[in-house]
Amino acid sequence: MSTPLSDRAEVLLRTLVESYIEEGQPQGSRTLARRSGLDLSPATIRGILADLEDLGLVVSPHTSAGRVPTQAGYRMFVDSLVTVSPPGRRAVRAMENELHERQDPQGIAETASGLLSQVTSLASVVMLPRREADTAIQQIEFIHLSNRRVLVILVTDDGQVRNRVIRAERDYSPAELVEAANCFNASYAGKSLRQVKESLLSEIEQDSQTVQRIMRLATEMTRQVLAEDADDGDVLVRGESNLLEIPELADLGKLRRLFDAFATKRDLLHLLDRSLRAGRINIFIGSESGYLALEECSVVTAPYMHGDRVVGTLGVVGPTRMPYHRVIPIVELTARLVSSALNPDPD
């Protein structure tokens, strides 16, 4: 927005956006005159609204003489005009207690996801903590299941345990899987995930063909697990049903696209990953997300940390007409509390 607004125009835009968020109805000049507190006639206000419309910040639906904010109007509002309302001390303490009841990173993320959807009455999205590249593998175990399935249990030196069920080329005996795990652990235990991933990309050559075959088995199964470390299953989605009651999202086609995005999680993961790399709170309004399924939505995200590293992102998905003044501080607070839960003070 290159053209600065006058003080009166800013007050009117803020009042219009806040009133529209609250009521969901186009706002007319008489209503805005009363709510803004400005000592201006409705005619003067209509003139300022016309200027805001020329700037692309508001629009007048063809069925109403009132105005509603555009995507650009919402953007100016959240960037410059919104006055946030942080949650009260009692609510903060309750959220903190719930998050600190869980010790494992996945449990903390699951609790955060439930809290976000509950407190905001929107859909929450939480990326599970990304395992840091310098985290070392402590051990791996392969357990035989039925129908050529193998349970892979990967334990890292930071105490995280990752379970994956993969499908093998054939049914391997328990003895073969134990031998494969022992062989892999002998070669890779204590090495960082980055080193292991790099090694698995190259061809492994061993003197003994038996060891080579076993090592190839271990390598292929481990490669599948590590390749899935950032897959769609690493995003938790809660509270999708909260969006069913929102009029702007009631169109069946819009809902289908949105719930498909929740189900596949691919677009959500990419969006959260963009936020993770940015390392700060992000607000994507409408088409700013770049995804058709989210063009009628806003997504508010914030990163959380383990130690001094950003390892994940969390946020909420809702209509563009969401209560930003309340949602933004809740998302920021939840990210801080998750960081605190992942980095507990030593006793």
Per-residue pLDDT for 206 more than 50?
Answer: no
Region 95-112 average pLDDT:
87
| Residue 134 binned pLDDT confidence (cut-offs 50, 70, 90) | low
Highest mean pLDDT among 94-98, 229-233, 245-249, 274-278: 94-98
Retrieve residue 243's tokens.
């969006």
Q: For the chain, give the percent of residues with pLDDT over 90.
A: 43
Please report the pLDDT score of residue 192 as a whole number.
79
In the structure, what pLDDT confidence band is assigned to residue 165 with cuts at 50, 70 and 90? confident
Task: Give the mean pLDDT of the chain.
Answer: 86
Q: What is the pLDDT of residue 229?
A: 54
Q: What is the length of the chain?
A: 347
Predicted local distance difference test score (pLDDT) of residue 41: 86
More confident residue, 97 or 344: 97
Residue 247 has pLDDT above 90, yes or no: no
pLDDT level of residue 101 (50, 70, 90 thresholds): confident
Average pLDDT on 308-328 reads: 93
In 220-296, DSSP assigns E strands to: 235-238, 282-285
3-state DSSP assignment of residue 141: strand
Stretch 264-292: mean pLDDT, rounded?
87
Average pLDDT over residues 147-176: 84
Residue 93: pLDDT over 80: yes
Taking a C-beta distance cutoff of 8 angstroms, is the pair 142, 221 a contact?
A: yes
- The pLDDT assigned to 23 comes to 92
pLDDT of residue 231: 45
What is the structure's pLDDT at 304? 93
Q: In a 3-state reduction of DSSP, which class is residue 122?
A: coil
Predicted TM-score of the model (pTM): 0.72
Written as six digits, the tokens of 79 are 């960037």
Q: How far apart are CA 289 and CA 273, in angstroms?
A: 12
Give 267's contacts (C-beta < 8 A, 6+ positions apart): 261, 289, 291, 293, 294
**Residue with structure tokens 């509270």?**
239
Cα angle: 91, vertex 320, 250; to 5 degrees: 100
- Mean pLDDT within 260-277: 84
Least confident residue range of 15-24, 44-53, 250-259: 250-259
Residue 19 corresponds to which tokens in the numbers above?
């009133």
Cα separation of the two ends of the chain: 50
Angle at 313 between CA 240 and CA 247, to 5 degrees: 25
